[in-house]
A and B are shown apart, each in its own frame.
Chain A
Amino acid sequence: MSPNGSLEARYPGTAGPTGMLRRDAWWVEPLLTVLGLGGFVVYATWAGFQNAFYFVDPYLSPFYSPCLSSNCEHVSLPLIGRWWNLSPAFLVLWIPGGFRLTCYYYRKAYYRSFWWAPPACAVPDVRTGYSGETAFPLILQNIHRYFFYLATGVLVFLWWDALEAFRFPDGFGMGVGTLVLLVNAVLLSLYSVSCHSCRHLCGGRLDVLSKAPTRYKAWSLISKLNEHHMFYAWISLFGVAFADVYVRLVAMGVIRDIRFF
């Protein structure tokens, strides 16, 4: 963005220079975010629509877990009857999707990179009007903790899937896929536990932490993890996409799952 007239109007009375004076590569971070998040959303939507190659015994893709409809290849919980004839992924994807959409870290990431409010620090907002999170629809971000509850439920199923991944048709065993699903569950757990709402609910909301020693311990631990919430957000995003790709390729017969035992 070059210095321009419309910016001048934005700083009435400040009388200093206008325009964008940063000379470093401030655009790299938003660009990488657009590529990373955009790429994930495109892939997850595509994978959700496929409605195939999401299960290969004993591996269930995390995009389809828990599998709730009876049209599923591997039903986790038969909640939805035959009438549901779309991809079972859509019955669950909205939960992790909503959890990440309302996550404090991802909000920062997409407000900056997609919404350009602001694109980077000391780089002017692209739009002249601004209402932050005071009005609909962004006021709905306050729902985040409810998505945290729901996502925790999904996480229980993903751990279950990781354990099930030891149960091959020919008995107990372990393959690369088992490891992939296990790592996926660990990464997603780190992401969930380090959540700001989780931190608040576990202890942050108290003023006198010394009177609640267990909650103080939980809060202290979560606070440490919370410092790396952005890292867990990204690595778990890649992890979950990789787990789906892995199961998909094995199910399609493109690659062969290596059995350790």
Chain B
Amino acid sequence: MAASEYTMRIWRGDASGGAFCDYRVSVEPGMVVLDAIHRVQATQANDLAVRWNCKAGKCGSCSAEVNGRPRLTCMTRMELFPPGETITVTPMRTFPLIRDLVTDVSFNFGTAKQVPPFQPKPKEPDGTYRMQQEDIDRVQEFHKCIECFLCQNVCHVIRDHPEHKKHFAGPRMFVRYAALEMHPLDTDNRLELLKEKMGLELCNITKCCTEVCPESIHITDNAIIPLKERVVDAYYDPLARVFRKLTGTR
């Protein structure tokens, strides 16, 4: 198959402002958006800033927005777009721009630091921990996260309402909270924190995080909604509370 021509419309700029620049590139079959960006960088714009590492969809570095949709650029094939088309590539919108396609994602490291760590129960008499596979299946899905922060980027709670950044952990962190809360060995209870300080109730379960997750983690259905249900158990269900009191169950 022959090469096709595309116009890459890439955002160039830094914190003080910027503009779109168009670059014509030829693209061979099998190339991904990140390859096309690298070709622009190699042939026409040596100073183009782009973050990447693995080119295999595993490091989560190359997140950007392609034609307005949050994506891993290394996993987005150029064949998705008809030859000759203009493809817009912009940096993630929710985080401060450093340069061109590179954003400062430290917001996510900040919210990660706020997650109370795993607090395992005491070891068994033989000095080990024991868990069954069925207890840990749920949590394993959450461990697939590659921290690309596309879910944090697309979440309208902070994307469109940055005033909530100071009290919203975001979908990636909800996945982490869920992994800890559902862990069979963990003893901590993070529900009050989630409700009062981490903005679980700001999420209106509109599922954009799930839609963009490159690891296909069911963020909303398997992490956020079960956490919301646990918060209902603890704060909004008087009948369940009475039932738990009467039966002495948790």
Contact = CB atoms under 8 A, between A and B. Distances in A.
Interface of A: 10-17, 20-24, 104, 107-108, 111-112, 117-118, 121-122, 124-125, 128-134, 138-139, 142-146, 196-197, 199-200, 204-205, 207-210, 216, 226-227
Greatest chain A CB density within 10 A among B16, B134, B164 is at B134
B172 interface: no
24 contacts: A10-B161, A14-B95, A14-B103, A15-B16, A17-B11, A22-B68, A107-B204, A108-B204, A111-B205, A121-B211, A124-B156, A124-B159, A125-B160, A130-B157, A132-B203, A142-B232, A145-B229, A145-B232, A199-B226, A200-B233, A207-B183, A207-B184, A210-B135, A227-B221
A118 B13 contact: no
A146 to B, nearest CB: 8
The 6 tightest CB contacts between A and B, nearest first, are A21-B68, A22-B68, A132-B202, A210-B132, A121-B208, A200-B229
A205 B69 contact: no
Contacts of B230: 200, 205
B145 interface: no
Contact of B226 (A111, A124, A200): A200
Given A200-B226, A205-B229, A207-B135, A14 B68 contact: no
Contacts of A132: 157, 199, 201-204
Contact-residue size bin, chain B (C-beta under 8 Å from the other chain): 35 or more
Contact of A20 (B68, B182, B199, B211): B68
A196 B157 contact: no
Contact of B134 (A24, A108, A209, A226): A209
What is the predominant secondary structure among interface residues of chain A facing chain B?
Answer: loop
A52 to B, nearest CB: 38
Given A21-B90, A142-B236, A204-B229, A122 B70 contact: yes
A122 B68 contact: yes
B236 A111 contact: no
Given A14-B95, A16-B13, A132-B201, 9 more contacts: A14-B94, A23-B67, A111-B204, A121-B211, A122-B159, A130-B160, A130-B164, A142-B237, A210-B134
A226 B225 CA distance: 12
A16 B18 contact: yes
Contacts of B90: 16-17, 21
Contacts of B96: 13-15
Contact of A205 (B201, B211, B233): B233
B184 A208 contact: yes
B156 A196 contact: no
Nearest to A130: B161
Contact of A104 (B14, B20, B184, B205): B205
A117 B156 contact: yes
Contacts of B225: 104, 196, 200
Given A16-B11, A111-B206, A143-B236, A23 B68 contact: yes
B134 A216 contact: yes
A249 B235 CA distance: 47
B190 interface: no
Nearest to A128: B161
B170 interface: no
Contacts of B248: none
B134 A17 contact: no
Interface in B123-177: 132, 134-135, 154, 156-157, 159-162, 164
A17 B20 CA distance: 8
